[in-house]
Structure 1
Amino acid sequence: MWRRRLLPLVLSTCILAVWPGWSTAGLLPQNSSEQVEITFWDSIKDSRNAGDYEAYLKTYPNGRFAPLAKARIASLRASASGASSASSTTSAAPAHVPAAPPASPTGAPAPAPAPIPVPPTQRAQPAPPARPAAATPSTAGHEIKDCAACPALIEVAPGSFTMGNNKNDPSEKPAHVVTIAHAFALGKYPVTIAQWNACVAAGACQRLTDIADHDQNAPAHNVSWDDAQQYVKWLTKASGKAYRLPTEAEWEYAARGGTATRYWWGDQMSQGKANCKDCGQPWRADGPNAVGSFAANPLGLYDMGGGVWEWVSDCWHSSYKNAPVDGRAWDQPYCEARVIRGGSWLDGHDYMLSSTRFKYDQSVRYTANGFRVAREMK
């Protein structure tokens, strides 16, 4: 009946609890800051990534688990330091020891509104969303590249589609028709580590941690919403074009690629379509694969499901009630929690649905969060 999810637990007042009268396979939010903190901790308590505990301490500096979080950080760093020292004294070629080992797929928190989603063990299969009221583009637009360092873009034609899903997650309701009146361009891939590093070299972006040994063509991750804003500001200056993050409506419109099914490829999971831990090969536990390793959707956009969660411009709202129907960003003053879409390599296939949405505090960096860019076609 309900798809089981964790909601993002960063400076929010939502927790997951089973409401009386609903199936135990479904979870709904309740207000309890204490339970928010407990659920946050439960989602990271087995992690071997120091950054997870740092994220907890940033949100709950005086929390009930703060002493344990500090101890875990010290232990992980001491272990990494000791391993590095031992490696440097051996005559054999030293093996690389990361500063903080990445979380295992079973112990990583699940970004269902808390750091990285803990994959559910039981989840009811949702019915497909309502069919769109008007045609959406089903073929790829032309490719655009505004400068040597700029990400490749795909033109997305205007059109209408049904956004959201009236089954399962309350945050995806109500399904509603959105009409995007003007063409826009969207990144063919998420922004890569190499592209991010071009911004770092220009002195406009901060160097990302825990990605030094990753493929430079892998998506940039461990990126906050604020970091992404720095990047698009630099890209705008470098290219002379007005870059930005996509709106949530633009993102889902493009992710669906003219489809109205659960996934862009249909209503059933299909191996090899997305970079997630049970989506088929290629897959690796320690980081996302290089962009473009999996099939593109009908618009020629890669990795709209899996790889990294992608920041969009909108402020988080707990449902689509009163959401704009013209595709613009749904913002509000003093917003702290922003929407992320698409799922990551650490999640299961149930997070690859075109309608899946979560949130994160905009200043928090988390290992599975990245982004792709957009701009107007004017």
Structure 2
Amino acid sequence: MRAKASATLAIVVATLVAIAAVGCRDERVGEAEARRAPTVTVAGEERLPSWTPPRIEVTRENAQALAEQADEALMGGRFADDDAASLPLFMALRDYAPMRARADAGVRNSIDGLLLQARQQLGQIDEEPDALARVRHAAAVLRVVALERDDVQRFLQQVDRVEDGQRFSELGEAALARGEVGETGGEGALAWFRRALALRGSDTRARQGLAAAESALIRRAEDAADREDYADAERWLSLAARVRPEAGAVAEARGRIAFARATRIGELRDAGIAALVQPRDGIEQARGHLAHILRIAPPADPTATELRRRIEFAVHYGLFVPRQRFTDALKGGGRTPTMVVIPYGDFTMGAPRGEHGASDAERPTRAIHFERGLAFSMTEVTVGQFRRFVDATKYRARSSRRGYSMVYDLRSGNFVRRGNVDWRHDYLGRPAADDLPVVHVSAKDASAYAEWLADETGHRYRLPSEAEFEYALRAGSRAPYPWGTGTPPPGTGNLTGSGDRSPTGRRWQNAFRGYIDGAWGPAPVGRYTPGRFGLHDMAGNVSEWVADCWHTNYRRAPRDQRAWVNPGCRQRVVRGGSWASAPEQTRSAWRSGLDADTTNARIGFRVVRDL
């Protein structure tokens, strides 16, 4: 910068050469009278100190040396730095007559150089920390030595504006230190910084002040977020966004706060889910975490919806969800039958008046409410699954101890008693495949299998109650059949259809008109389309034992889903149609009572598990 100023001032060289030949006088020049200029002020406050030229004594002996020193300082751009600068030296030399002309030219050139240099430094005050101090010094000098010049007055006005801006920035910084940001108007920091920028739009100090004010508002937002007051945080961010709309600081802060908020919400969700497995007060703890989420989460936040859903599921399903499939491990190895979680809800149990094929045993109807979901085995228990139970426990089923069971006779089309038939045999008395539903089992055999599962898994496995069976069979339908009315859709299940044929060519005398399922006798489990709850063969394949004792009607029956059991009852309830049942016996409300020791080729069972 100084080299540039020196180049600009090279025009003074010719004048200096011309004056150099002027002789010197013997007379001693009196000391130049100190000139005192008024102090520069802005709005009544002292802004710039007065400048007094240094006292330099000029004599005949030193005049030439001082003139040469002044020329060198002028060429070096050192105009008013100290008593060795060009301006004070030339001003002193003006009082020495032999040097007056040369000194007057030097003073003019020094003023021109100082003004040029000061203007350059004024443009650098935002980049160079020391530039403003040099400008202030130059302005103080110029006010003393050249106040009458128009260009100097214009420069001093510029300096005044800079000084005003500096004062406004100082006031803004002081307000900011007191916490008076002024975000809602008034004489806070923001107002002062904006006044400074109105004077000079490039004012770096004022711009930095605005950024500091913005940061203060952002800090308030972050403090509010730390208190989990996100509404207040957003209020502060909105105010901060008005300070420097073009900057990205608020957007970044909003992103940080949103991330921290989402993280906190996620922590609460995880804590709520973890609480659900606690045996005591887990649901209440989870609800507390949900309430916390609802206080701090944005409207319609999916995390709150998720946890609310998990809590609802925990209340009604434990750790499961509706229609979930699962198995439990057995202590002795292997797995339980595949279980399906059915939803909780309400239904009307029994057959309404006027339903074709219904009997008084299916009435009076009653409303049943399920407070919790329930897991049903997806299919009837198979021969292979029952075999694992027998092998593990050496259990002897009723048909094995008795030595016979009821099988289907292909020649007569009737059910007959046959010896040496037990659970290992099919409907004809032949060895059964492992994927067939186990038959030739009594109600007590079925209960023994369920109790074994409970012992092996630590969970409550049991036979379903009548209410549970009918609820799962209907799966939301109020019609006579699970599928509605009339002929079942193709693939519904192993039912009696007019299109079915026995191995000997026999047809059903009472069957669903136009239906064919391709089976005569029990079919492998899971072959046909499941119902709406995901369970197979609820209305067909084999009828199934349930936990209830037989009662001739529903008068005085439990008003909930519990099994209706009398101590020592000898008759148990059978539910669901079979491969050999008449259409009326396939209705959802159909029920029958049999001796608990009954075994035949039409009855099997499935299990349920409490959640």
Partner of residue 433, structure 2: 215
Corresponding position: 1:235 with 2:453: yes
CA–CA separation in structure 2 for the residues paired with 1:335 and 1:303:
28
For 2:455 and 2:566, locate their aligned partners in 1 and report how far apart those are by CA, in whole Å. 26
2:496 to 277, 286, 303: 277
Q: By how many angstroms is 1:297 displaced?
A: 0.5
Equivalent residues of 2:494, 2:519 under 8 A apart: no
Corresponding residue for residue 351 of structure 2? 165
- 1:301 aligned partner: 535
CA distance in 2, matches of 1:281, 1:214: 23
1:375 corresponds to 2:590:
no
Cα pair distance change 1:175/1:184, threshold 3 Å:
same
Show the counterpart of 2:581. 347
Q: Give the partner amino acid of 2:336.
A: C
* 1:201 match: 391
Which of the residues 212, 225, 228 maps onto 2:443? 225
Amino acid at match of 1:284: A
Asked if structure 1 preserves the Cα contact closer than 8 Å seen for 2:351 and 2:365, the reply is yes
Measured in 2, the distance between the counterparts of 1:312 and 1:141 equals 22
The answer as to 2:518 corresponding to 1:328 is: no
How many residues end up aligned between the 2 structures? 239
Q: Secondary structure at the match of 1:340?
A: strand
Any stretches of 5+ residues in structure 2 without a counterpart?
1-320, 401-422, 498-511
Show the 5 A alignment for 1:77-92. Answer: none
Name the counterpart of 1:152. 338
Q: Deviations over 1:37-85 (max 9, x none)?
A: xxxxxxxxxxxxxxxxxxxxxxxxxxxxxxxxxxxxxxxxxxxxxxxxx
Counterparts of residues 309-320 of structure 1 (less than 5 Å): 309-320=543-554
In structure 2, how many angstroms separate the alpha carbons of the residues matched to 1:290 and 1:189? 10
Partner of 2:233: none
Residues 1-378 of structure 1: pairs in structure 2 closer than 5 A: 141-147=323-329, 148-167=334-353, 168-206=358-396, 208-211=423-426, 213-270=431-488, 271-278=490-497, 280-285=515-520, 287-377=521-611
Question: Structure 1 stretch 239-248 or stretch 273-282: which is displaced more?
Answer: 273-282
Contact 2:464 2:547 in 1 (8 A): yes
Deviation at 1:269, TM superposition (A): 2.1
Cα distance, 1:266 vs structure 2? 0.9
Aligned twin of 1:28: none
Note the C-alpha offset of 1:274.
Answer: 2.0
Q: Would the aligned equivalents of 2:326 and 2:339 in 1 still touch at CA under 8 Å?
A: yes
Change (3 A) 1:244 1:350: same
Q: Partner amino acid for 2:594?
A: Y
AA in 2 matched with 1:374? V
Q: How far apart are residue 204 of structure 1 and its match?
A: 4.3
Quick check: 1:224–1:362 contact (8 Å CA) kept in 2?
yes
Q: How many Å separate the matches in 2 of 1:144 and 1:227?
A: 24
Counterparts of 1:365 and 1:294 in 2: how far apart (Å)? 25
Q: Secondary structure at the match of 1:332?
A: coil
Structure 2: which amino acid aligns with 1:155? V
Q: CA shift at 1:305, angstroms?
A: 0.5
Q: Contact 1:274–1:352 at 8 Å: present in 2 too?
A: no
In 1, the alpha carbon distance for the partners of 2:475 and 2:596 equals: 27
- Paired residue type of 2:369: T
- Residue matched to 1:89: none
Q: Which amino acid aligns with 1:157?
A: P
- Whether the aligned pair in 2 keeps the contact of 1:274 and 1:306 (CA below 8 Å) is yes
Distance 1:177 1:227 in 2: 31
Tell me what 2:92 maps to.
none
The one-letter code matched in structure 2 to 1:220 is V
Amino acid at match of 1:153: M
SS of equivalent residue, structure 1 residue 182? coil
Which consecutive aligned stretches of 4+ in structure 1 deviate over 6 angstroms post-superposition? none
Q: Structure 1, residues 193-228: CA drift from partner, whole Å, max 9, x if none? A: 110111121134336253353331111111100111
Letter in 2 for 1:228: A
After superposition, give the CA deviation of every residue in 1:202-257 in whole Å (9 maximum; x if it has no partner): 13433625335333111111110011111112111222212100111011001111
Say whether the 8 Å CA contact 2:454–2:460 is kept in structure 1.
yes
SS in 1 for 2:544: strand
- Matches of 1:365 and 1:257, distance apart in 2: 28
Q: 2: CA distance between counterparts of 1:246 and 1:283?
A: 29
CA contact (8 A) 1:159 1:179 kept: yes
| Other structure's SS at 1:155 match | strand
Question: Would you tell me which structure has more helix in proportion to its own residues?
Answer: 2
Normalized against structure 2, the TM-score is what?
Answer: 0.38
Q: How far apart, in 2, do the equivalents of 1:291 and 1:219 lie?
A: 6
Q: Aligned to 1:310, what secondary structure does the other structure show?
A: strand
Tell me the SS of whatever aligns to 1:202.
helix
Q: Which protein has the bigger strand share?
A: 1
Q: Distance in 1 between matches of 2:592 and 2:518?
A: 23
Alignment identity in percent? 34
RMSD across aligned C-alpha pairs, in angstroms?
Answer: 1.9
Following superposition, the deviation at residue 140 of structure 1 comes to 5.8
